[in-house]
Structure 1
Amino acid sequence: MGRYEFSSLAARNEIEAEKPWEQRNLPTTIYDILSGTAGKFGDRKAVSFQIESGPKDKAETLSWTTLHDKTVQAANLFRSLGVGQNDVVAYVLPNANETLITLMGGMISGIVAPINPLLEPEQIASILRQTGAKVVVTLRGFPKTDVAEKVHEALEDAPDVKHVLEIDLNRYLTPPKKWIVPLIRPKVSPKHSAKVQNFNEAIASQPKTLTFDDEKVDRVAAYFHTGGTTGMPKVAQHKYSGIIYNGWLGANLLFDETDVLICPLPLFHVFAVHVVFMAVLTAGSHVVFPTPAGYRGEGVFDNFWKLIERYGVTFVITVPTAISALMQRPVDADVSTLKVAFSGSSPLPVELFNRFEKATDVKIVEGYGLTEATCLVSCNPTDGVKKIGSVGIPFPYTDVKILQCDADGTITKECGVEEVGEICVSNPGVYVGKTYTDDTKNVGLVAGNKYLRTGDLGRLDEDGYLWITGRAKDIIIRGGHNIDPAEIEEALAGHDAVAVVGAIGQPDPVAGELPCAFVELVDGASVTEKELMDYAREHISERAAVPKYIEIMDEIPKTGVGKVFKPDLRKSAIMRVYNEALEDEGLSARVVSVVEDKKRGLVAQIEDRGADRGKAEHVLGNFTRPFDWV
């Protein structure tokens, strides 16, 4: 599978030894790759999108020639609207064929900036201001989504945006729904001064050949924001060279033009864009995007195996939380075409790996990457030993070191085999010293003037496999003793009733922090918190790591790509622990919310409710987390 065998560290080293990266004479720009792929595979299927999840629902499939032509028309349109090489086209969109057209057209004409449509208006506005976007592509008002409303509200605080291009998803529907949408479409009344146009009508008038020179220079072509759903995200810069490197890896190590991928991940995230689509673009494969919301779309999990049969899917692109949901449903279709499931976003519990393999007879390949490195860092070899729980072998031309560093990036120690430290990465996707658009965010981010500090803790084993042990900021410090939350999560995930686990440190007046865990159950499963606590005591070898508290939640908060969103868990723990302490002292004061402060971190908001503030401050002063009276 793939052009090169990727079976071991030795095989990886052979690829590197063949020739240096700089001598591979790869295309310089995204337009180079697109035109080359369209030239080779013009009539072949490039991308399929269906707005509804049923295996017989209407789908729109674009050939490579059509995708090329529409992308060029979009790039020409953006240039006609004043977008130059250093200007930004932002999009706030769910998945659709137009999203891919905007993605590539934005890169070819200038810099593209995908924005998570789940963000709130003030966060969208913040990203638009940080990037200086001139053009925004988004949805026209559509039922059951507030994307259009949020974007137009955000534009009131983003004065650099001069043009808005709207996409109407109604064109993907069939009657009678297609007839009903115009009757119930939400009305959006812009209060900003940007000019609003219909995206598809605007590009239709543009020529299908570039009206400007595609300068063959390596430059920043994309801005991707980081973070989840609180705070103001940072914006990472991606150069053509890093994007092309990610595409080259997928097309040479994972799949080729005969493969069909299904990718229900959002096209505002590097996993879907750089790992999946850029590799599809490079190889000339066929990729399927089911529903605008991907895995979150109505019926996607219920119809997933049938969609694999419909399209003859060979590669599944997924994340652990999606695998967990799929394992709650029977494999009710012919999935014999399926070769590999590629999982990223977060480490996969061993138990979940085994459940999937048993149900599908397909192994999962775990990969690791991060927005700040453009994306890919490592993966379990497709042709070799898969060490369950590891994220595999660093890709060719990727140098991974496990380091201990000072705050300014000075290396104090290089860790040995099996020794845990910070994972630091150097590869063509790392833009040294220029990771973020805001230079103040780059301080201390590079180790030894070469390696990106990921903030992840990990180790390399004797075979060169990389293991993630947690986030540096996630470490639970219990009375000076460091506890890795992954140990707790791995243990509890082994329980048959458990679907998702998030472990954090909850405040404690004596130890500083104590481990606690939040659990989401498999659909239909039944277990008590006491039973889970007993299970934890039995399966967590380190006594100090046994959770002090376990809470079963209907649904654990997650990011747009399915990661457990730990800031919300920490807020919940702070509120619970502080309120219990106040109640134990007979005080009526209560924590009513926990907010994130840029300088102080999470801050409890306290209402006095007639209580003695002095006594309340004495009680809460035993904890390390700050608080304010409201």
Structure 2
Amino acid sequence: MTATFIDTMIAAAARAPGTPLTVASDTRPCATTLGDIVAAGRRMGTRMTTSGIGPGDIVASMLPNWREWLVVAVAAAQAGAVLLPVVTIYGARELGFILRQSGAKWLFTPDTFRHADYRGIVADCGDLPALVRHVTIGPEFDALEAGEAVGAPVVRGADELALLVYTSGTTADPKGVMHSARGFLAELETMRLMRAGAEDDAVISPWPPGHVAGALSMYRFLCQATPLVLMDQWDAALAAGLIERHRIGSSSGTPFHLTGMIAAADAHGHDLSSLRQYLVGAAPVPPSLIERCQRQGLAVYHCYGSSEHPTVTSGVVDDPLDKQLHTEGRAMPGSEMRFVDDDGADVPPGTDGEICTRGPELFMGYLDTALNAAAFLPGGWYRTGDVGRLDEDGYLLITDRKKDIIIRGGENISSKEVEDRLLAHPAIADAAVVAAPDDRMGEVVRACVVLAPGAALTLDDVRDHFFAAGIAKQKTPERLSILSELPRNASGKILKHQLRDQP
């Protein structure tokens, strides 16, 4: 039988029990090992079973990047339950929706964290008919993992639901994305291949574990014995110091994370020379950032994926610079792509089309099965909603998200193309483009930018910049909003619906 989460965790802990975990936190700092966490999780999982958790029951974990998140993940696997990670910044509306739709029976949260009172949040969720136990970090949690006899793991199939991850809900209610152990372990193997030659390097993760990227970092530690350094909230200077102290070899994040970390290292004199590769996702990457990192011996490359299909393509360390700068890499082993029109028919090679994917890491479908009809083409092809094409060397180019296309006077304008041009302006540190309503054209391009320190910018400056680059006039921004920061969710994705709603 194919391995499940608990089989893989037990094997990893037996092979490398001393694999270190470091949690840098003002609230719950910790230095421990894989062996300790798997043993504690198995004790807790045994107690879950005796307390009524059965195979396939949902156990929700609304915990930060703490040791306790990992213990709960092992416990759920030991009990044959399904782990449901939840973002810690969610309020009662989002949490209540997720708990009711999933039917979660147990919920783990902090007592308080970053000024949030989690007992109060749960109380404000209203009726939660399936929830029978809310465990906060403290004596009740400690009692669940206290020493006692460990039973045999509850047997479940590798193709059954094992992990339920909710999308961030940037445009509507979050969607429950179902993953099997087989699929998620296949994704972990893909990630190992991406780090060929650096499998034993310590990793630092800025991602919150309520999102798929953060959950993957946690499961890499549990299932592959990858040394892991965690922060429970992002701090660029702290990250730079941790990389120096722990000789971190690889990491991932958004340009926001990487830029802040490099600036902090420069400001505080931290040595980042151990960091050899950095995987960037979730946002456009300024070419100047990649070029700067390459001069420092740090390979920065893109990847493409989603909660539904975590890694479809990725760059690698040895990719040519132009591919690192301008593409999302090539398909990972086992992953397939098609490019289709609005009717689901394949477009000619080299033509932009909606990206459809298939592969061993692909999710099982949405918990709300009503969403699946629109999400898949016949043959199990997942419709990503992203638009792109392959270049002549098989590298993926993302040209837009379908919903981010600006229709100006009946002509489609790629928001990503405009964003890339804005990011090339020396006064602009961060940028996003959305449609602005216009009486004459229907929609026009609105640029929302964050300025570099000490910089100034006018709409005329932007127009001159686009004119000098030879960009078509209709793609030039006609509205400009200068912001102190762009709204982002916990995984770094820009919340464009918030920008659209701003005057």
Judged with a 3 Å threshold, the aligned counterparts in structure 2 of structure 1 residues 204 and 273 are, in CA distance, closer, same or farther, namely same
How far residue 330 of structure 1 moved from its aligned partner, in angstroms, is 4.2
Which residue in the other structure is 2:13 paired with?
38
Which residue in the other structure is 1:322 paired with?
257
Write out per-residue CA displacement over residues 198-256 of structure 1, whole angstroms, 9 at most, x where no aligned residue: 2122221443x334433344211011111346642111111111100111112233155
- 2:135 and 2:29 map into 1 onto residues whose CA distance is 23
- 2:31 and 2:448 map into 1 onto residues whose CA distance is 42
Contact 1:88 1:111 (C-alpha < 8 Å) held by counterparts: yes
Contact 1:247 1:280 (C-alpha < 8 Å) held by counterparts: no
- 2:348 and 2:372 map into 1 onto residues whose CA distance is 24
Secondary structure of 1:210's match? coil
- 2:114 and 2:489 map into 1 onto residues whose CA distance is 23
Which residue in the other structure is 1:66 paired with?
36
> TM-score w.r.t. structure 1 length?
0.75
How far residue 39 of structure 1 moved from its aligned partner, in angstroms, is 1.2
Contact 2:46 2:78 (C-alpha < 8 Å) held by counterparts: no
How far residue 108 of structure 1 moved from its aligned partner, in angstroms, is 3.9
Task: Choose from 51, 66, 70 the match for 1:81.
Answer: 51
Which residue in the other structure is 2:298 paired with?
362
How far residue 405 of structure 1 moved from its aligned partner, in angstroms, is 4.0
Contact 1:519 1:552 (C-alpha < 8 Å) held by counterparts: yes
Which residue in the other structure is 1:531 paired with?
461
Judged with a 3 Å threshold, the aligned counterparts in structure 2 of structure 1 residues 389 and 143 are, in CA distance, closer, same or farther, namely closer
Task: Choose from 103, 126, 130 the match for 2:73.
Answer: 103
- 1:116 and 1:540 map into 2 onto residues whose CA distance is 43
* Gapped regions of structure 1 (runs ≥ 5): 1-24, 169-196, 577-630
CA RMSD, 1 decimal: 2.2
Write out per-residue CA displacement over residues 431-460 of structure 1, whole angstroms, 9 at most, x where no aligned residue: 4xx511111111221123221000011111
Which residue in the other structure is 1:404 paired with?
341
- 1:372 and 1:228 map into 2 onto residues whose CA distance is 13
Residue 413 (1) aligns with residue 388 (2): no
Superposed counterparts of 1:478-489, under 5 Å:
478-489=408-419
Which residue in the other structure is 2:279 paired with?
342
Which residue in the other structure is 1:254 paired with?
195
Judged with a 3 Å threshold, the aligned counterparts in structure 2 of structure 1 residues 540 and 553 are, in CA distance, closer, same or farther, namely farther
Judged with a 3 Å threshold, the aligned counterparts in structure 2 of structure 1 residues 316 and 504 are, in CA distance, closer, same or farther, namely same
Task: Choose from 225, 237, 260 the match for 1:302.
Answer: 237
Aligned length: 497
Task: Choose from 152, 155, 158 the match for 2:123.
Answer: 152
**Which shows bigger deviation, 301-310 or 529-538?**
529-538
Secondary structure of 2:432's match? strand
Judged with a 3 Å threshold, the aligned counterparts in structure 2 of structure 1 residues 361 and 527 are, in CA distance, closer, same or farther, namely farther
Superposed counterparts of 1:576-587, under 5 Å:
576=503
Judged with a 3 Å threshold, the aligned counterparts in structure 2 of structure 1 residues 128 and 345 are, in CA distance, closer, same or farther, namely same
- 1:394 and 1:210 map into 2 onto residues whose CA distance is 41
Task: Choose from 227, 231, 237 the match for 2:178.
Answer: 237
The residue type equivalent to 1:425 in the other structure is T
Contact 1:218 1:241 (C-alpha < 8 Å) held by counterparts: yes
How far residue 68 of structure 1 moved from its aligned partner, in angstroms, is 1.2
The residue type equivalent to 1:481 in the other structure is E
Which residue in the other structure is 2:159 paired with?
218
Secondary structure of 2:112's match? coil
- 1:329 and 1:534 map into 2 onto residues whose CA distance is 32
Residue 352 (1) aligns with residue 289 (2): yes
**Which shows bigger deviation, 362-371 or 278-287?**
278-287
How far residue 515 of structure 1 moved from its aligned partner, in angstroms, is 0.8
Secondary structure of 2:31's match? strand
How far residue 38 of structure 1 moved from its aligned partner, in angstroms, is 0.9
The residue type equivalent to 1:424 in the other structure is C
Secondary structure of 2:366's match? coil
Which residue in the other structure is 1:164 paired with?
134
Secondary structure of 1:102's match? helix
How far residue 524 of structure 1 moved from its aligned partner, in angstroms, is 4.2
Secondary structure of 2:392's match? coil
> TM-score w.r.t. structure 2 length?
0.93
Secondary structure of 1:444's match? helix
How far residue 146 of structure 1 moved from its aligned partner, in angstroms, is 3.7
- 2:455 and 2:45 map into 1 onto residues whose CA distance is 51
The residue type equivalent to 1:422 in the other structure is E
* Gapped regions of structure 2 (runs ≥ 5): none
Contact 2:447 2:477 (C-alpha < 8 Å) held by counterparts: yes
Judged with a 3 Å threshold, the aligned counterparts in structure 2 of structure 1 residues 523 and 52 are, in CA distance, closer, same or farther, namely farther
Task: Choose from 352, 358, 361 the match for 1:426.
Answer: 358
- 1:512 and 1:439 map into 2 onto residues whose CA distance is 35
How far residue 34 of structure 1 moved from its aligned partner, in angstroms, is 0.8
Write out per-residue CA displacement over residues 67-116 of structure 1, whole angstroms, 9 at most, x where no aligned residue: 21022123223323322222100111221111122233224421111111
Superposed counterparts of 1:105-120, under 5 Å:
105-109=75-79, 110-120=81-91
The residue type equivalent to 1:469 in the other structure is T
Judged with a 3 Å threshold, the aligned counterparts in structure 2 of structure 1 residues 142 and 323 are, in CA distance, closer, same or farther, namely closer
Contact 2:62 2:85 (C-alpha < 8 Å) held by counterparts: yes
Contact 2:158 2:180 (C-alpha < 8 Å) held by counterparts: no
How far residue 337 of structure 1 moved from its aligned partner, in angstroms, is 1.6
Write out per-residue CA displacement over residues 158-209 of structure 1, whole angstroms, 9 at most, x where no aligned residue: 12100011114xxxxxxxxxxxxxxxxxxxxxxxxxxxx72122221443x3
- 2:248 and 2:445 map into 1 onto residues whose CA distance is 42
The residue type equivalent to 2:288 in the other structure is E
Contact 2:312 2:357 (C-alpha < 8 Å) held by counterparts: yes
How far residue 556 of structure 1 moved from its aligned partner, in angstroms, is 1.2
The residue type equivalent to 1:397 in the other structure is G
Task: Choose from 103, 109, 112 the match for 1:141.
Answer: 112
How far residue 143 of structure 1 moved from its aligned partner, in angstroms, is 5.9
Which residue in the other structure is 1:441 paired with?
371
Residue 517 (1) aligns with residue 459 (2): no
Judged with a 3 Å threshold, the aligned counterparts in structure 2 of structure 1 residues 529 and 135 are, in CA distance, closer, same or farther, namely same
- 2:456 and 2:77 map into 1 onto residues whose CA distance is 49
Write out per-residue CA displacement over residues 336-360 of structure 1, whole angstroms, 9 at most, x where no aligned residue: 22111111223322123223334x4
The residue type equivalent to 1:452 in the other structure is Y
